[in-house]
Chains A and B, each alone.
Chain A
Amino acid sequence: MHPQRRFGVMAIGAAAAAALALAGCSAPGGSSETASDSASTSDQITAPVTADQVAGLGDTTLSVWADQGEQDFMEALIPAYEAKYPNVTVDIQYKSFNDLMATVLNAMNSSDAPDVTQGNQGWATDGALVSAGLLRPLDDVAAAYDYESAAGDSITQLQWSSDGAQFGTGSIYGMSPDNQMVGIFYNKTKLAALGLDVPRTLADLDAALKAAKAAGETPLVLGNSDKASAMQALSLIQGALTPAADTRAWITGAEGATFDVPSNGEAIDHLAGWVADGLVSPGYDGTSPDDAAAAFAGGEGVFFIGGNWYAGTIADGSQFGFTAGLKDGDYASSGSFGLPWHVSAKSDATIAALAFVGMVNSADTASTLASVNRVPIHAVDAGQPGSIFPDLLTASAEQLDNGGPLYWYDWATDTMFDTFTSGLQSVLAGQSSSSELLKQIQDDWTTFHTK
């Protein structure tokens, strides 16, 4: 062997050995167990936090991470918070949703974790945070701020067993002040021209879509390049055909639950039928939901099924209306509260953090939330006339008082988003059948829960 070559081999060998030594060859993550409860129990509250309680901390900076969608709300809330608790300065960082989800686990696990952060319901984020012992349970805060009663049955989306192994039961680990639900946006002018009422049953909706098509309109405007929007549209039909409680039990992982039932197959086939009959805007898989909403707001089509957050785009209440799901299913459709606010188990300003999360979720703040066009779960006076916002409040109340939200199918397992959405795209494009999709979905669920 050429001496230079031999040296090269030796160098690589030595480098690999050195790098392995640097890597430390220990199991990643170690075996650290976080003992969190001892510190937090001393801070239990029984009534809304007072300024005196927080004053004991002295000058304090409260570090907060939030989704950038919260910015309007936070800019109204933080000054009020700092006025009420003058010794606290809020240092807030906004992140895009994807960025927040990608970094929140590591941030909360780090030594300088934010005191307050937003997470996301479901196993991948909240479940992981709870199982790692990084969150302080908020049962006392939910009680003290009358949050639990406002949330009603939907509180289960925020509950976890203390080891994070069970979803939908146990302590409350997060609180979120607004209701985000899927419903039907309709074009009032076109509906009137077609001589139709606002559809409240699946049969009504079918008839309205067909009438729109016959009149040469685009019946349903859909943009599904994010893959999630078709799943949200499906929830309206699935909610009408399958009891909401069954779906929620399946999503939160109740033992023996299954999605593979005939009514769900019917729901998928029903949506696929809309596509096959040309009732859905063409090219929907290549259109972004934002573009679809903008097109609808610009006068295209008769219906748009989507989340109430599109009211920012479809805002003109004189031309557009919004209604909750279908009466057949007690107005159930995909929906949940917004991204939950959590308090770090490691916070050294716990009482200030509790005051912050409490204030965000209090009845007094509901009007602030409504002023930035978000739907509070606490009762609030209807917004200004001429906007679509009063419809949103009505729809939210209708859903919460009846069947309740279905939550989101992709909460069911950490891989369900891809399984469900990619599979649904295939079925809608006629590439596979609803029975195959139901089997894939249930296999994913079974694999996850037997692990």
Chain B
Amino acid sequence: MRTVNPHRPGRRRYDWGAYLYLVPAFAFYLVFLLRPVLESVWISLFEWNGITASTWVGTQNLVDVLTSTEIWRAVGHSLVFIVFYAVIPTVLALVFIGVISRFRVRGLAFFRAALFVPYILSTVVVAIAWRWIFAEGGPLNAVLRGVGLGGFARAWLGDFDTALPSVGVIGTWVMFGLAFVLFVSGLQSIPGDLFEAARIDGAGPVREFFAVTLPGLRGEIQVALVLMITAALRNFDIVWNTTSGGPGTSTTVPSYYIYREAFVTHHVGRASAIAVMLTVIIFVAVGLTMRLTRDPEAGDR
């Protein structure tokens, strides 16, 4: 609990007029965000093909979705993607940051731009490029065969055991640049004298990283994780354009089923129910991330 400001005389008077300035933005938010979300919740209570009259089914769609093994398997794949889309890029980028905070890197601006390119490329382009890299006759297998590891060569996206991590690697490649760019800008905002003080006190590179760099990047790490975890959970484009959920169901994700139910099989109610479930999962994941990366000294925010 925060102590009440002693200078404030009881209840503060509100200047309600100020809220009028929020009305235009709020109306926009209401019509284009809140209303569609609530409408999805509403539609999830019906069986509807998108055209003809709908039938009220209550929570049946949601119950079906929550008891469907294929949907939960897809959620499991999304959790694996969180490792590839969020955890690995964050750790890798932090290692890079640890290095460049210690040494002067020539042409940092170039590397920063080059590493960020994957993130701004169209995901369809990324997917097609990686489909080629992972293909049976693609460059990855050529390299493996070239160094005598031909036994590992395979169609990476077409193998039940390797398709999921292969799609994950694409995510790592895309997200690494985002994490790196955020952390570099965070690093530049850490006062130089903190590093200097640490070095005068005799801290080694590891100690300096954990005592100065990591705490200094807390805000950036939080932002990066929220962006990347959200991207992992709502991943659709890369999966759709590389494996379409296959082989079998080894790379399905919830968004794949939302698309399929809404636009292919026309079960709009069920699609909405999956969407509602995915939204709740994303909210929970983001909430957990915010809580776990919270600054312990900042108190209740």
Residues of A contacting B69 with CB < 8 Å? none
B11 at interface by CB-CB < 8 Å: yes
Residues of A contacting B266 with CB < 8 Å? 105, 124, 128, 414
User: Beta-carbon contacts of A69-102 to B below 8 Å, as 1s and 0s?
Assistant: 0000000000000000000000000000000011
Bound Cα distance from A224 to B12, whole angstroms: 68
Residue among A31, A124, A224, A286 with most chain B CB within 10 A: A286
A-B contact count (CB 8 A): 142
Instruction: Considering the complex, give the chain A residue whose CB is closest to the CB of B43.
Output: A28
Are A285 and B268 touching (Cβ within 8 A)?
Answer: no
Are B158 and A23 touching (Cβ within 8 A)?
Answer: no
User: Beta-carbon contacts of B230-270 to A below 8 Å, as 1s and 0s?
Assistant: 00000000000001111111000000000010011111100
B52 at interface by CB-CB < 8 Å: yes
Are B42 and A286 touching (Cβ within 8 A)?
Answer: no
A284 at interface by CB-CB < 8 Å: yes
A16 at interface by CB-CB < 8 Å: yes
Are B155 and A284 touching (Cβ within 8 A)?
Answer: yes
Pick from A199-207, A345-353, A389-397, A422-430 the stretch touching chain B: A422-430
* Interface size of A in residues (CB-CB distance below 8 Å): 50
Residues of A contacting B260 with CB < 8 Å? 418
Which A421-447 residues sit within 8 Å CB-CB of chain B? 421-423, 425-426, 429, 431
A415 at interface by CB-CB < 8 Å: yes
Contact A28-B155, Cβ < 8 Å, known A124-B264, A414-B265:
no
* Interface size of B in residues (CB-CB distance below 8 Å): 49
Residues of B contacting A132 with CB < 8 Å? 49, 51-52
Are A287 and B265 touching (Cβ within 8 A)?
Answer: no
Are A286 and B135 touching (Cβ within 8 A)?
Answer: yes
Are A431 and B154 touching (Cβ within 8 A)?
Answer: no
A106 at interface by CB-CB < 8 Å: yes
Contact A282-B52, Cβ < 8 Å, known A28-B43, A128-B266:
no
Which B42-60 residues sit within 8 Å CB-CB of chain A? 42-43, 46, 48-54, 56
Are A19 and B248 touching (Cβ within 8 A)?
Answer: no
Which A183-230 residues sit within 8 Å CB-CB of chain B? 224-227
Residues of A contacting B135 with CB < 8 Å? 283, 286-287, 291
Indicate which residue in A27, A102, A431 contacts B248 across the interface (CB closer than 8 Å). Answer: A431
Are A27 and B56 touching (Cβ within 8 A)?
Answer: yes
B67 to chain A, nearest CB (A): 15
User: Beta-carbon contacts of A282-296 to B below 8 Å, as 1s and 0s?
Assistant: 111111100100000
Are A224 and B158 touching (Cβ within 8 A)?
Answer: yes
B96 at interface by CB-CB < 8 Å: no
Bound Cα distance from A101 to B160, whole angstroms: 29
User: Beta-carbon contacts of A103-135 to B below 8 Å, as 1s and 0s?
Assistant: 001100100000000000000100010011010
Bound Cα distance from A134 to B52, whole angstroms: 10
A256 at interface by CB-CB < 8 Å: no
Bound Cα distance from A18 to B46, whole angstroms: 21
B206 to chain A, nearest CB (A): 41
Contact A3-B247, Cβ < 8 Å, known A15-B26, A19-B34, A414-B265:
no
Are B38 and A101 touching (Cβ within 8 A)?
Answer: no
Q: List 6 A-B contacts (CB under 8 A).
A: A27-B53, A105-B51, A124-B264, A286-B163, A414-B264, A431-B248
Using A106-B51, A429-B247 as known contacts, list a sample of 10 further A-B pairs with CB atoms less than 8 Å apart, ordered by residue number in A. Answer: A19-B35, A20-B42, A28-B268, A128-B50, A128-B51, A282-B155, A283-B135, A414-B267, A422-B246, A423-B248
